[in-house]
Amino acid sequence: MAFQPIVSVRDRTITAYEALMRSTDQAMGRPDLMLGAAERLGRLDDLGRAVRSAVAKDASRAPAGIRLFVNLHAQDLSDETLFDPSAPLSQIASRVVLEITERASLDHITDLQERIGRLRGLGYRIAVDDLGAGYAGLSALALLEPDVVKLDMTIARDIDASATRQHIVRSMAGLCTGMKMELLAEGVETGAERDTLVACGCDVLQGYHFGRPAFGFESIPSDRWGPQ
């Protein structure tokens, strides 16, 4: 697994890392290629279990008190091992935020809300990933009542030059405050994007500007935080 930092700009601290699967196999260079192969081979459950075990193992090396964000495939929600209290990741559930992407179809999952409730019962928190990229964005909020909302990186891109996207983030920040959800913007690549997002009320950020996914828990270069 590679890990990418998630930061609070106001506090100038790393609050979490997102775990991202990586393969050394040239043909499997990107997660979507690995997921596609697993899907074709009928082995999505095996891949999901391997990812969750690997994260649980790496977590012992993560800085204390730091949360870990772990991506779920929609099909993982139908795998009983995800809900097993003795599974490796369940042991550290209180430190884990499970990301559910609205791009993955959640429609065909029976008892979705009951399943999410069971995950919360184990201590997991829930994030909606890539909000704003798919077709069902806001309905995913109503369906999952997530603890964390991750705005798709298309929202952050050049936001300093887009009054419209600034309005969207301000509105989302208000909505998230009202619903007691944490708002996070992904794909932050420049200082201008960082400063604009913070000014719009989104202080928890992730992106190449702060750190690329790396094999290990890397720190943030001190020049990335911007003006005090």
Residue nearest to ligand G according to CB distances in the complex: 207
The DSSP code for 138 is H
Listed residue (177, 176, 118) closest to 151, CA to CA: 176
Task: Name residue, tokens 């977590």.
Answer: 59
Is the CB of 195 or the CB of 218 nearer to Mn ion? 218
213 binds, among ligand G, Mn ion, none (CB under 5 to 8 A by kind): ligand G
188-217 residues near ligand G, rule: CB under 6 A: 188-189, 207-208, 213
Partners of 157 in beta bridges? none
118-147 residues near Mn ion, rule: CB under 5 A: 129
Task: Specify whether the CB–CB gap between 11 and 219 falls below 8 A.
Answer: no
Residues 65-94, one symbol each (x = binds Mn ion by CB under 5 A, - = not), give ------x-----------------------
Distance in angstroms (rounded) separating the CA atoms of residues 167 and 26:
41
Long-range Cβ contact pairs of 27-31 (< 8 A, separation 24 or more): 31/71
> Of 58, 76, 79, 99, which one interacts with Mn ion (CB under 5 A)?
99
Q: Which residues bind ligand G (CB under 6 A)?
A: 4, 20, 31, 71, 101, 129-130, 153, 186-189, 207-208, 213
Q: Which residues bind Mn ion (CB under 5 A)?
A: 71, 99, 129
